[in-house]
Each structure stands twice: as C-alpha cells, then as structure tokens.
Structure 1
Amino acid sequence: MTQEAQQRYAAGDRPGEIRRHELAGFLRSRRERLTPEEVGLPRGRRRRTPGLRREEVAHLSAVGVTWYTWLEQARDIQVSAQVLDALARALRLDAGERAHLFGLAGAVDPSPAAGCATVTPELRLLLDQLAPFPVCVQNSRYDILAFNRTYGALFCDLEAVPVEDRNVMLLAFTNERWRASIVYLDEVLPMMTAKFRATMAGHLGEPGWKLLLQRLTEESAEFRELWERYDVQQTSTSKVKHFRNAHVGPVSFVHTDLWLGGDRAARLVTYTPADDTTRERLLELERLAAAR
C-alpha cells in the first residue's frame, strides 16, 4: 500500500477510494518506468516527464486522454476488462503486474494469463511424458493454457510469445511465423473463423470472448472480412493437418481432441504422425527443442 493510501486508510476513507488511489499510483509508476524508445515512439527534444506521457499511454492503449488522466487522478469511473487488457499490454506488464492491475480495479482478468484450474501439475507431467508428440491444452476460446516443448517448437517459438497472446485464433491471424507454418492457409483460416463463430454462440457477452473478438477485428483485416461472412462450422474430433516447420520441414499429423471434462470447457489437443517421414522429423524436432 502506498503512503498516500495508508494515510487515507488511517483517516477512515472508504476501501473503494483507497483502491482507486492505489490503482492511480500503480499506473503512474508503470508509465514512468517505460521509455519512448521501448514502445517505438520518438523521444523528442523537450521531455520533462520521466518515462511516457499520459497522452502516449492513452494512444498506445486506444483510450481517451481525458479518460486516462481521470484514471491516474483516482476519479470514480468504471473500467472494463477490455480497457484494462489494453493498458496492461501498452505498459508491458508482466503476469504478476497484470494480476495486480486487475485486482486493484476489482475486475476479473479474462485472459489465459489468469490461470486455469484445469491445468494441474499431473496434467503438465502428462504433456511432457507424451513427447515427442506435440500436445497442448486449450480451452473453448482457443487459448493455449499449457503445452509440451515439441508443441512449443512446431509452429513458432511459443515460449517467446507473451502469455496473453497465446491464442490459436490470434496467432493464426497476426503472428507471421505461426502463419508461415500452416499449409493451405487460405483454406484453414475460413474454417477456423467459422468454428470460432459457432462456438462463440454459447459465450455471447462473456468478457474473455468479447476481448478476443475485439483484438481480432482490430488487428486483422483478414479476420474482419471472414467474420462478416457469418459462416459457421462445428468442430470435428479427428483430421489430418499439414504444417511447414522452420527446423525440420513439411510434417503431417492426425489431430485429435480429447475433452478433459463433460462441459467441454478444455481439451487435450494431440498431434500424432500421419506418416513415417513425419515420425522421423518429429524425433529431430524433439531433439532440437530439448537442446534449446
């Protein structure tokens, strides 16, 4: 608790007011520690403010300057999960800082960074034991909640991707290395979008889904065009998929979903080799992933 918040607490201020001042102080401290160069902005000659200016944070997070200023002034305003997510990304918060931001705002973090009770230590051990087969755990929103090292090297260096960006839909539309690994991309993306729309019908209004849809429509013109078609398609349990791995070349897998609960909230996504060539290349990919 900041010194100002402690003083307010001692003076008998209400918890809500104390929380707003804590949030304001936290945002200000995170803003002041970032340099313009770190976020791709010019420094300019006359910069007296340490770190970023308020208007720069507002620009990076696509919110109004006045609104963001009120937030740092501890005004009594409502903050949505979408705005908090944008601020967390603009200020480059790590997982702990992001959780603190949502906690101070009294909001629920809808991203996979908030954790998932489905991924137990035993399940993580199972993922590792299934190597060299690429395996991950996804929820119904296509967030990648956990994965083994072979899966982490199949499409791109997944470990280098921020946790809040580890979503199959987001990666397929915005991550160039992930996109380059998908054979028949022009056929795959419409199918993915149609499945996403069909699945989202059961989650309308949920913050996490709204946040993901907002990011996809803002960051990908290709997704916007496909989304406007209103195509729907139900998920299938098993199919052959073809990829172009940057390390070992073309590979083909049988993709199978194993549901982890009766509510179909999370599933084990498995890739087993569809041919002998893939089996051999998969062993090489596992060796390279282990060496890294």
Structure 2
Amino acid sequence: MQQEEDQRRELGAFLRSRRGRITPEQVGLPHTGRRRTPGLRREELALLAGISATWYTYLEQGRDIRASDQVLGAIASTLRLDPHEREHLFRLAGHAPAVLAEEPEPLAAEVAAVPHLLQPQPAYIIDGTYDVLSVNRAAGELFPNLTAAADRPANLARWTFLEPVARDVVVDWETEARGLVARLRMLAGRHPGNSRYTRLIDELKAGSTHMRDWWPEYDVQVQHGGRKRLRPPGREAADFVYTAFHLAEQPELTLVIYSEESRSVVG
C-alpha cells in the first residue's frame, strides 16, 4: 500500500537525520580522520545497537521489513532519542495505530461553546492539524487575522507561518515556530499519508522558506502547556501562560486557554 511505503520512507529519513547528529566521540568510537558525512556510519550504528548492518541499511532504505520492540529500543538508545523522538520512531515503525479520520469530525455545539464561556481569558479549540474549530473574542483579539479567511477554516499553523502580523504578536517567533514544526512532525508521524497533514505541510512549505528549511531537520516535540511572550495589538509585550486540555471523547481536539502570567490560569 502507498501509505505503508510512505511511512517506511519517513522512517528511513528520520533515522538518517538522527544518525547524522551523533558523533563517534559521543559514543566512544575512536577518531579515524576526515569523514565525508557528519555523524555515525550505518555500520557503526548497527554495531553499537547489536544488529546486522545489512538489516539496518534495509530499514533506512525503507525496505518492507518488521522491526521488533527490542531492536527499535536498541536503535533508540544508540541514537540517544528523547522520549518524544522514541515514540515517533516506534510509530513510524508501525507499532502504534493511526486513527485520524481523513475528514474532521464535527464539533458539538456544547463543546464549541466552551471557549466563549471562558471569556475574557483567550481560549480556542484546535484539532490535530491545528484547524481552529472554536475561538472566543479575547483569542481573536490576541491573535489578529486568525479567522480572517472566509473560504477555509482558521488554522494556527497557517497563521504562524503565513500571516505577517504573527511575527509582531509572537515575540520569540523563531523559537515558537520551530516548536510548532516539531509538533507537526510528531502529529504527522502518527498519521502517515493522511491527506489533511499532507495538504497543510505542502501549503506551509510553499509559502514559507522557514518551513522548507526546518521540516527536513526531523525535530519532534510534544507540548501541553507553557509560556509565551506575546505583544497584543496596541499594547506592550507581556508574558502569557497557556494550558492545553484534550477532550475526553475526541482526544484529537484540544482546548487551549491563555492568561497573562500575573493572573491565575483558568482550568
């Protein structure tokens, strides 16, 4: 199947990107002079992980082979993957289901009402592809033009990369945008071949040189809350805390609530 082939290619690309980040010195291998490419050679990684070099090469090449949990764990340890990268590796290797529907689920009216009940705290609900399904007035004011397009759903990733005002509002834009790319990479890895992610990522690449440069780095990240420095229109920059809650019956949907750091977070 095409989806399985795409997933195997994605797995190979992810492994190559992480192998290129590990130096021989980091894993105790002797320095052997100049190398044509950075990072470990395939043979070196296979030796350290205790697996066949040929078999590991097939894995990077996207061959139709099945890796066990033990083998994946050994590779993850050798590559020094963090917990999120490890999860991403296992998912790409077919050890977790991909369940996101090709078409978004409708948002129940009572769920859509929640951000409005949280006014004046900025709040919105997004789905797995960062489509904004419900947004209250405070969030619309904090993120200008988020819902400006009438011909398609508002999308937080599209706003971040393609809406010029985003760089004025998000003070540490590059840091936040890189984090968003890493979270998109993690989510897309959970749902390989899903057209909703493919369309969004292609659009962001077409419209943003940053997205084109950062996507091949294969960073992955999961985030459920944190702090952002934002500059609301007409105001000085301020620190905001935000918290994310997954909906119990629709875990791909996330309620995000913001509050200025000097105030308590609703939740």
Q: Please, what TM-score do these two structures have when normalized by structure 1?
A: 0.52
Q: 1:178 aligns with which of 162, 166, 179?
A: 166
Partner of 1:223: 211
Q: 2:175 aligns with which of 182, 187, 208?
A: 187
Q: In structure 1, what residue type is equivalent to 2:176?
A: V
Partner of 1:248: 235
Superposed counterparts of 1:198-277, under 5 Å = 198-233=186-221, 235-261=222-248, 264-275=251-262
1:129 aligns with 2:114: no
Superposed counterparts of 1:1-292, under 5 Å = 116-117=105-106, 119-162=107-150, 164=152, 166-233=154-221, 235-261=222-248, 264-275=251-262
- % identical aligned pairs: 24
d(CA) in 2 for partners of 1:121, 1:248: 33
d(CA) in 1 for partners of 2:176, 2:237: 16
Give, in angstroms, the shift of residue 249 of structure 1.
2.8
The residue matched to 1:158 in structure 2 has which SS?
A: coil
Q: In structure 2, what residue type is equivalent to 1:231?
A: D
CA contact (8 A) 1:133 1:150 kept: yes
- Unaligned 5+ runs, structure 1: 1-108, 280-292
1:134-190 residue CA offsets vs partner (Å, 9 max, x unmatched)? 010001111111100111111213342335252111111110012221011121111
CA contact (8 A) 1:171 1:179 kept: no
CA contact (8 A) 1:165 1:171 kept: no
Structure 1 residue runs of 4+, over 4 Å off?
A: none
d(CA) in 1 for partners of 2:151, 2:192: 23
Q: In structure 1, what residue type is equivalent to 2:231?
A: R
1:24-71 residue CA offsets vs partner (Å, 9 max, x unmatched)? xxxxxxxxxxxxxxxxxxxxxxxxxxxxxxxxxxxxxxxxxxxxxxxx
Give, in angstroms, the shift of residue 215 of structure 1.
0.5
Give, in angstroms, the shift of residue 263 of structure 1.
5.6
Give, in angstroms, the shift of residue 232 of structure 1.
1.4
The residue matched to 2:129 in structure 1 has which SS?
A: coil
d(CA) in 2 for partners of 1:164, 1:242: 28
In structure 2, the CA distance between the partners of 1:110 and 1:262, relative to structure 1 (3 Å rule), is closer
Give, in angstroms, the shift of residue 262 of structure 1.
5.5
d(CA) in 2 for partners of 1:185, 1:217: 17
Asked which structure has the greater CA Rg, the reply is 1
- Unaligned 5+ runs, structure 2: 1-100
d(CA) in 1 for partners of 2:188, 2:251: 13
